[in-house]
């Protein structure tokens, strides 16, 4: 490593607070810190500011109806249509501007202006009607990152049919369960797609999924692979292009949806167990994603904004499709993987399209870091104005790497904590207002009340770990679990609420994450509450230990779990991945142990440090700690079917046995 890089890293290692760059603040959508006070004083009407970002065909009467907690209703009496908000209202001023900039893995591109997108969404909406889809019918979309996916979502929204997107990487069985659970009679899918240059066949998996569905299904099939794959068509199937051609030029008036009508159904990623069918509504959700996209991602119509998530996750719903399009900006959609054909693919796209904001995940940032700075260094990234992360806690070293090597110390980094259930961002700095503290997401957004409680429900002292809770409702919140109000209350509201009360003050939302807060009110999310190890009676958060480990130079990623221990109850097992130019060594081992002892104390000292080339990850990129726990305890392995890389598990097992 060159000397100046060493000096830079050393300087940054010392710094734990960063002010937003002046040049950013000057142009930021939100730069007045009085917003926190104003929102607090004017709650819940402060959220009218979010509702004002969208068009209503009938005005709402009440901002918040909290008469039946926790079944809150927002902007009641209002009517709107999400597709109209994402398309029609932009046509006059931005009709010829780019709405979606699509980049295929093999290098092909497709560009949709707002008028082109509007046209195709209308044709697909007409197609769905023609096939018999009625308002409130759930349409399942089992599709990879092709433009037809957001088009189908907006077409559903146009006719008031809620969509349920099933991530294309999920199994046939996952499709079956979701279609059955939602009584969904319509499926839009795809013949296949590309991954690392290979054509992946998707249609047969979709067929297998449908074969388990307990009712009739009508299918529409997008032909992505063309001659490369002669995909099977069943009697129920229709070809997307043919149907749409039949509707060429058709227009469908956007139906008026009640603010509280369902916009979509989305299952959580299932990191901790069985996925939950989260219901989001039209008014509150759209207002929430538009407002957060404006305030936190600083989106302006003239931007070229890129969120690298998959639309099959909530992040893609909120911040590739609905938020950016509601604001009339250009949203980039990339089909492929970040290291194909080369490890500079992301930076090549940023340079070529002059991307202004990049929103990605810590797992991706750690991979970039592991690959090395030469890849971003080859490209001009000066178009970037803001960087964001979501999905997992980001350790300070990765944060600083992102800030320095991608943002050139000139872009604020927003570390956004939120969940499928929250609809959009909840805890993060406002990039034009607050200082950033690497590793800490920041304060709750204005108008949100987040508090840390102990298991008794009492507030915990600053600096101590506690349970994150949200004390007041917000517009983007889930309304229930699909057709299961009981489980909704049980999952999210039973822990800290007085469930017999109809006073909203007695109801507290529990996201099931642990966190700590500092004297400035900045929240550091430590991870799921069940990711806690009990060593000799001390409760240690796995995230905190992991953060200490990845703070060691040369370590790219770490996962910590508890292995059973005769004397201590549990002991700390650390699985670690080195950066590309480093290798397993006694020195690294000792540095890891020292770093943990220094950060947390000798009690957290890892009993085992296992160097491994990969960690088991879910399809959304989250580490599957429960499998690592099974390995540590030599237990029978739980299911690996939701893993992106199931093969690594036996490799790691072998390593542990050898150690
Ligand atoms: P399931 O609920 O089915 O187990 P999941 O929780 O992984 O799945 P998501 O809704 O996609 O499904 O993930 C939300 C979770 O991701 C949060 O509860 C939190 O644990 C984690 N998370 C998201 N963003 C951040 C962040 N910026 N910092 C720390 N953790 C985060
Ligand atoms: Mg969750």
CA 204, CA 190: separation in Å to the nearest integer?
10
Cα 191 to averaged position of ligand 1 atoms, centre (Å)? 31
pLDDT at 271: 67
Q: State whether residue 376 is helix, strand or coil.
A: helix
Cα 455 to averaged position of ligand 1 atoms, centre (Å)? 21
pLDDT digits (tens, 9 = 90+) for 569-622: 889 999 999 998 899 999 999 999 999 998 888 889 999 999 999 999 887 778
**Structure tokens that stand for 477 in this block:** 């919140």
- List the one residue out of 131, 238, 156, 122 whose CA is nearest residue 189: 238
pLDDT, mean of residues 113-142: 98
pLDDT at 444: 98
pLDDT digits (tens, 9 = 90+) for 343-398: 999 999 999 999 999 999 999 999 999 999 999 999 999 999 999 999 988 999 99
Q: Is 511 in the pocket of ligand 1 (CB under 6 A)?
A: yes
- List the one residue out of 98, 82, 216, 93 whose CA is nearest residue 153: 82
What DSSP state is assigned to residue 403?
I
Contacts (Cβ under 8 Å, ≥6 apart) of 1: none
Q: How many CB atoms lie within 10 A of CB 634?
A: 11
- b/e string for 41-76 if b means 16 or more Cβ within 10 A? eebbebbebbbebbebeeebeebbbbeebbbbbbbb
Contact in structure between 246 and 228 (CB atoms under 8 Å)? no
Q: Is 271 in the pocket of ligand 1 (CB under 6 A)?
A: yes
pLDDT at 44: 98
Contact in structure between 320 and 150 (CB atoms under 8 Å)? yes
∠506-507-513 over CA atoms, to 5°? 130
Contacts (Cβ under 8 Å, ≥6 apart) of 642: 170, 171, 174, 270, 618, 619, 624
pLDDT at 259: 98
∠169-395-592 over CA atoms, to 5°? 105
Is the pLDDT confidence value at 204 over 80?
Answer: yes
Beta strand pairing call for 304-307 and 262-267: unpaired
3-class secondary structure for 444-464? ECCCCCEEEECCCCCECCCCC
Q: State whether residue 336 is helix, strand or coil.
A: coil
Contact in structure between 516 and 452 (CB atoms under 8 Å)? yes
pLDDT at 2: 45
Contact in structure between 215 and 182 (CB atoms under 8 Å)? no
pLDDT, mean of residues 291-315: 97
Q: Is 270 in the pocket of ligand 1 (CB under 6 A)?
A: yes
Is the pLDDT confidence value at 4 over 70?
Answer: no
Is the pLDDT confidence value at 86 over 80?
Answer: yes
Cα 391 to averaged position of ligand 1 atoms, centre (Å)? 5
pLDDT at 330: 98
- Quote the mean pLDDT of the chain: 94
In DSSP notation, 596-659 reads HHHHT-GGG--SEEEE-S---BBTTS-B-HHHHHHHHTTPPP---TTBS-TTHHHHHHHHHHH-
Q: Is 515 in the pocket of ligand 1 (CB under 6 A)?
A: no
In DSSP notation, 92-107 reads HHHTTSEEEEEE-TTS
Cα 274 to averaged position of ligand 1 atoms, centre (Å)? 14
- b/e string for 222-254 if b means 16 or more Cβ within 10 A? bbbbeeebebeeeeebbebeebbeebeebebeb
Contacts (Cβ under 8 Å, ≥6 apart) of 235: none
Give the distance between the most distant pair of CA atoms in the chain: 73
The pLDDT-based confidence of 464 (bands split at 50, 70, 90) is confident
Contact in structure between 580 and 370 (CB atoms under 8 Å)? yes
CA 438, CA 522: separation in Å to the nearest integer?
11
Strands (E), 489-607: 513-517, 523-528, 532-535, 538-541, 555-565, 569-578
Atom of ligand 1 nearest to the CA of 313: 11
- List the one residue out of 143, 197, 170, 149 whose CA is nearest residue 339: 197
pLDDT, mean of residues 46-56: 98
Q: Is 191 in the pocket of ligand 1 (CB under 6 A)?
A: no
Atom of ligand 1 nearest to the CA of 275: 3
pLDDT, mean of residues 399-412: 97
Question: What CATH number was assigned to the domain covering residues 530-659?
Answer: 3.30.300.30
3-class secondary structure for 51-66? HCCCCCCECCCEEEEC
Contact in structure between 36 and 437 (CB atoms under 8 Å)? no
pLDDT at 273: 64
Q: How many CB atoms lie within 10 A of CB 135?
A: 12
Is the Cα dihedral 101, 143, 478, 79 positive or negative? positive
Q: Is 434 in the pocket of ligand 1 (CB under 6 A)?
A: no
Contacts (Cβ under 8 Å, ≥6 apart) of 88: 118, 254
CA 406, CA 364: separation in Å to the nearest integer?
13
Domains in the chain: boundaries: 530-659
| Kind and range of the H or E run holding 306 | strand 304-307
Better pLDDT: 530 or 502: 502
pLDDT, mean of residues 395-415: 96
Nearest-ligand number for the alpha carbon of 392: 1
Q: What Cα–Cα distance (Å) separates residue 82 from each residue in 3, 142, 261?
A: 53, 21, 11
Q: Is 441 in the pocket of ligand 1 (CB under 6 A)?
A: yes
Contact in structure between 493 and 70 (CB atoms under 8 Å)? yes
pLDDT digits (tens, 9 = 90+) for 544-558: 888 889 889 999 989
CA 464, CA 460: separation in Å to the nearest integer?
6
Q: Is 370 in the pocket of ligand 1 (CB under 6 A)?
A: no
The pLDDT-based confidence of 12 (bands split at 50, 70, 90) is confident
pLDDT at 618: 81
Q: Among all chains, which residue has been given the structure tokens 């590793």?
A: 439
The pLDDT-based confidence of 1 (bands split at 50, 70, 90) is very low
pLDDT, mean of residues 24-51: 98
Atom of ligand 1 nearest to the CA of 421: 10
Contacts (Cβ under 8 Å, ≥6 apart) of 380: 351
Q: How many secondary structure helices (H) and strands (E) does the chain include? A: 23, 30
The pLDDT-based confidence of 272 (bands split at 50, 70, 90) is low
Task: Region of 388 please: left (phi>0), alpha (psi -120 to 50) or beta.
Answer: beta
CA 24, CA 619: separation in Å to the nearest integer?
34
Q: Is 391 in the pocket of ligand 1 (CB under 6 A)?
A: yes
In DSSP notation, 320-333 reads IIIHHHHTT-EEEE
């Amino acid at each position: 490593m060159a000397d100046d890089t060493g000096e830079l890293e050393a300087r940054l290692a010392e710094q734990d607070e960063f002010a937003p760059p002046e040049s950013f603040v000057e142009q930021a959508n939100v730069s007045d810190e009085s917003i926190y006070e104003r929102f607090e004083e004017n709650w819940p009407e402060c959220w009218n500011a979010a509702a004002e970002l969208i068009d209503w065909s009938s005005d709402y009467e009440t901002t918040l109806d909290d008469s039946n907690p926790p079944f809150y209703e927002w902007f009641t009496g209002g009517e709107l249509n999400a597709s109209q908000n994402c398309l029609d209202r932009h046509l006059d001023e931005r009709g010829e501007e780019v709405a979606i900039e699509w980049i295929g893995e093999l290098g092909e591109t497709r560009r949709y202006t707002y008028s082109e997108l509007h046209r195709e969404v209308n044709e697909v909406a007409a197609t769905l009607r023609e096939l018999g889809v009625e308002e409130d019918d759930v349409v399942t979309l089992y599709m990879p990152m092709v433009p037809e996916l957001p088009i189908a979502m907006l077409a559903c929204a146009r006719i008031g049919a809620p969509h349920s997107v099933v991530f294309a990487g999920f199994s046939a069985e996952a499709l079956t369960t979701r279609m059955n659970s939602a009584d969904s009679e319509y499926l839009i899918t795809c013949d296949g797609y590309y991954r690392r240059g290979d054509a992946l066949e998707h249609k047969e998996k979709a067929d297998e999924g449908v074969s388990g569905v307990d009712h009739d299904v009508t299918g529409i099939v997008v032909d992505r692979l063309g001659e490369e794959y002669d995909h099977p068509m069943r009697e129920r199937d229709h070809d997307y292009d043919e149907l749409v051609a039949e509707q060429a030029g058709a227009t469908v008036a956007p139906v008026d949806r009640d603010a509280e009508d369902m916009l979509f159904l989305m299952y959580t990623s299932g990191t901790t167990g069985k996925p939950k069918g989260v219901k989001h509504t039209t008014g509150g959700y759209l207002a929430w994603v538009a407002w957060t996209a404006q305030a936190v991602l600083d989106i302006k119509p003239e931007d070229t904004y890129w969120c690298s998530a998959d639309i099959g996750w909530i992040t893609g719903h909120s911040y590739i499709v609905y938020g950016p399009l509601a604001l009339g900006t250009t949203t980039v959609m990339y089909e492929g993987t970040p290291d194909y054909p080369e490890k500079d693919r992301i930076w090549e796209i940023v340079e070529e399209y002059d991307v202004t904001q990049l929103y990605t995940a810590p797992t991706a940032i750690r991979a970039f870091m592991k690959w090395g700075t030469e890849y971003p260094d080859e490209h001009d990234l000066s178009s970037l104005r803001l960087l964001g992360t979501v999905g997992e806690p980001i350790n300070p070293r990765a944060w600083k790497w992102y800030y320095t090597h991608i943002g050139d110390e000139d872009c604020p980094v927003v570390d956004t904590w939120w969940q499928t259930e929250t609809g959009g961002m909840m805890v993060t700095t406002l990039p034009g207002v607050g200082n950033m503290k690497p590793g800490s997401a920041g304060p709750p957004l204005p108008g949100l009340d987040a508090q840390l409680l102990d298991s008794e429900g009492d507030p915990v002292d600053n600096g101590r770990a506690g349970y994150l809770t949200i004390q007041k409702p917000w517009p983007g919140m889930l309304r229930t679990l699909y057709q299961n109000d009981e489980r909704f209350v049980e999952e999210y509201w039973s822990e800290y609420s007085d469930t017999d009360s109809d006073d909203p003050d007695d109801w507290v939302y529990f996201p099931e994450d642990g966190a700590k807060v500092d004297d400035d009110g900045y929240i550091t999310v430590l991870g799921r509450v069940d990711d806690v190890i009990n060593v000799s009676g001390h409760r240690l958060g796995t995230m905190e230990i992991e953060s200490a480990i990845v703070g060691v130079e040369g370590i790219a990623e770490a996962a910590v779990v508890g292995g059973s221990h005769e004397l201590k109850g549990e002991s700390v097992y650390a699985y670690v991945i080195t950066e590309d130019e480093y290798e397993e060594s006694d020195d690294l081992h000792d540095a890891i142990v020292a770093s943990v002892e220094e950060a947390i104390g000798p009690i957290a000292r890892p009993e085992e440090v296992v160097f491994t080339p990969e960690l088991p990850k879910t399809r959304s990129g989250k580490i599957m700690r429960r499998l690592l726990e099974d390995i540590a305890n030599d237990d029978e392995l739980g299911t690996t079917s939701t893993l992106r890389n199931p093969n690594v598990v036996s490799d790691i097992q072998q390593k542990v046995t050898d150690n």
